[in-house]
Structure 1
Amino acid sequence: MRTRIKICGITTPDTLVAVLNAGADACGFMFYPPSPRALTPEAARPLAARGPHLLKVGVFVDADDALIGAAVAAGALGALQLQGAEGPARVAELQARFGLPVWKAVGVKTAADVATAARSFAGADLLLLDAKPPEGVTLPGGNGLRFDWRILNEAKPAMPWGLAGGLTVETVGEAIRLTGAPLVDVSSGVESAPGVKDVAKIGAFVEAARRA
Structure 2
Amino acid sequence: MHVDVKICGLTDETAVAAVRDAGAEYAGFVFFPPSPRHLSAARAAALAAPLRGQATVVALTVDADDQAFDDIFDTFGPDMLQLHGQESPERIAALKRRYTVPVMKMIPVREARDLGAVEAYLAVADRILFDAKAPADATRPGGLGLSFDWRLLAGLDLPVPFMLSGGLDPDVVGEAIRIARPNAVDVSSGVETAPGVKDPSAIARFVKAVRAAEAARDRSMERIPS
| TM norm structure 1 | 0.95
Q: Give the distance between the partners of 2:22 and 2:11, measured in 1 at CA.
A: 17
Matched, 1:118 2:118: yes
TM-superposed CA distance for 1:72, in Å, is 2.2
SS class of match (2:152): helix
Alignment partner of 2:32: what SS?
coil
Q: Percent identity, please.
A: 45
- Taking the aligned partners of 1:15 and 1:104, their CA distance within structure 2 comes to 24
Matches within 5 A, 1:84-163: 84-114=85-115, 116-122=116-122, 123-141=124-142, 143-163=144-164
Whether contact under 8 Å (1:15, 1:198) holds in the other structure is yes
**Secondary structure of 1:72 counterpart:** helix
Q: Which residue of 2 aligns with 1:77?
A: 78
**1 CA distance for matches of 2:85 and 2:135?**
15
* CA distance in structure 1 between the aligned counterparts of 2:109 and 2:158, rounded to whole angstroms: 12
**How far is the alpha carbon of 1:44 from its aligned partner?**
0.9
Answer whether contact 1:83 1:104 (CA < 8 A) is retained: yes
Between 67-76 and 98-107, the greater mean CA deviation after superposition: 67-76
Mapping of residues 56-71 of structure 1, within 5 Å? 56-71=57-72
**Amino acid of the residue matched to residue 52 of structure 1?**
R
- 2: distance between equivalents of 1:132 and 1:27? 22
**Which ranges of structure 1 fall in alignment gaps of 5 or more residues?**
none
Q: How does 1:43-58 map to 2 (within 5 A)?
A: 43-53=43-53, 54-58=55-59
User: How many residue pairs end up in the alignment?
Assistant: 211
- Return the alpha-carbon distance in structure 2 between the equivalents of residues 73 and 166 of structure 1: 33
Q: Secondary structure at the match of 1:50?
A: helix
Distance across 2 between alignment mates of 1:22 and 1:166? 20
Report the counterpart of residue 187 of structure 2 in structure 1.
186
Provide the C-alpha distance between the structure 2 equivalents of 1:38 and 1:69, rounded to a whole number of angstroms.
Answer: 17
- Alpha-carbon deviation of 1:69? 2.0
- Spell out, residue by residue over 1:132-189, the C-alpha distance to the aligned partner (whole angstroms, 9 max, x if none): 1011111112511111000112544342211010100111000111111101000110
CA distance in 1: counterparts of 2:108 and 2:205, whole angstroms: 26
Compute the RMSD of aligned alpha carbons.
1.2
Of stretches 153-162 and 175-184 in structure 1, the one that deviates more from structure 2 is: 153-162
Instruction: Say which one has the larger Rg.
Output: 2
1:103, 1:23 → 2: CA distance?
21
Say whether the 8 Å CA contact 1:118–1:158 is kept in structure 2: no
Give the TM-score normalised by structure 2: 0.90
1:167 matched residue in structure 2: 168
Name the SS of the counterpart of 1:29 in structure 2.
Answer: strand
| Offset at residue 26 of structure 1 (A) | 0.8
- Contact 2:148 2:166 survives alignment (8 Å): yes
